[in-house]
Amino acid sequence: MLEVRDLVCGYGGVSAIKGISLAVAEGALVALIGANGAGKTTLLKAISCLLRPTRGQIVFDGTDITKASPHAVLSLGLAHCPEGRRVFPNLTVLENLEMGCYLRTDKDGIQEDLEQVFDEFPRLAERRHQAAGTLSGGEQQMLAISRALMSRPKLVMFDEPSLGLAPNIVERMFAFIKEICRAGTTVLMVEQNAYAALEMCDFAYLLESGSLVLSGTGKELIGNPHVRAAYLGGGA
C-alpha cells in the first residue's frame, strides 16, 4: 500500500532522513522505532507531504504522491495523527471530529462513524459539546486518533500515540489501534515504547541517525541483541 524509495528529507539543508526505503503492506500494522532525533517524525511528515523531500519517491496505493499537497494525500486515503495530539483547543469535541471528515460528503456514513467513536470512547460522547482544550491528555489523544479515523483512511499514521499517557490509558490505546488494523485499516506507527510496539506489530523498522538499520517482524527485532541492548533495557 505504501512504498518509500531512497527518500532524503530534512530542514534548512540538513538531512534528517538519509536515503530511506521501506514498504507497508495492505492490512499490516508496521512499527517505526528509534531514539529521539532518529528521523521518525520527519519521515511521517514527508509521507503526508507536510515536508518536501530533496530526493526519492513516495508511492501510496499505486499513486506517486511525492509532490502532492497534504489535502490531496488525505483525499487518497492516507491520514496522519501527529505527535502531541494537536487538537483544535477552542473547538468542541464534536467540531474536532467534524474537521476530520471535511472532505467527505456521505452524511449517513459520517453520522455512523460519529456514533461508533462515541460508542468506543464514552468520555468523548459525554464531552461532545466541551472545548477540546479542556480535556485531559488521554481524552485529547482519544480525540486525535478518532479525528484521523473520521476521514475513513486506507492507511493511518500514528506518531507517538502513548506519549505522556497513564499506563491504563496506554493499554487501551494500543488495544484500539490493534482493533483498527483488524478491521481493515493499514497502520504505520511511530512509538517510544519499543517493546509494546514490537510486540503488537506485524513488521518493524529501526531508524538510527536518519537511516534504516534493521527490519523484520516484531519478534525478530525483540530477539535482536542490538535492539535488546539499546531499546529494550537489555532483557525485556
Cα 30 to chain centroid distance, Å, stands at 10
Q: What is the CATH number of the domain that holds 82?
A: 3.40.50.300
Candidates 66, 61, 93; CA nearest to 76 is 61
Amino acid at 60: F
pLDDT band at 14 (very low <50, low <70, confident <90, very high): confident
Residue 224 lies inside a defined structural domain of this protein: yes
| Residue whose C-alpha cell is 530533496 | 54
| Tens digit of each residue's pLDDT (9 = 90 or more) over 21-59 | 999 999 999 999 999 889 999 999 999 999 999 999 999
pLDDT at 235 over 70: no
pLDDT one-digit tens code per residue, 106-116:
999 999 999 99
Domain assignment present for 62: yes
Q: Report the mean per-residue pLDDT for the chain.
A: 93
Cell of residue 130, nine digits = 466541551
Q: How many domains is the chain built from? A: 1
Contacts of residue 22, defined as CB under 8 A and 6 or more positions apart, other chains included, come to 3, 4, 205, 212, 215
* Calpha distance 103→61 (Å, rounded): 19
Is 94 within a domain? no
Q: Residue 170 to residues 20, 44, 141, 217: CA-CA distances in angstroms? A: 29, 21, 10, 22
Domain that holds residue 215: 2-86+153-231
Residues in the chain, total: 236
- CB count in 10 Å sphere of residue 153: 21
* Phi, psi for 162 (deg, rounded to 5): -95, 0
Percent of the chain exceeding pLDDT 90 equals 82
The pLDDT value recorded for residue 234 is 61
Does any domain span residue 174? yes
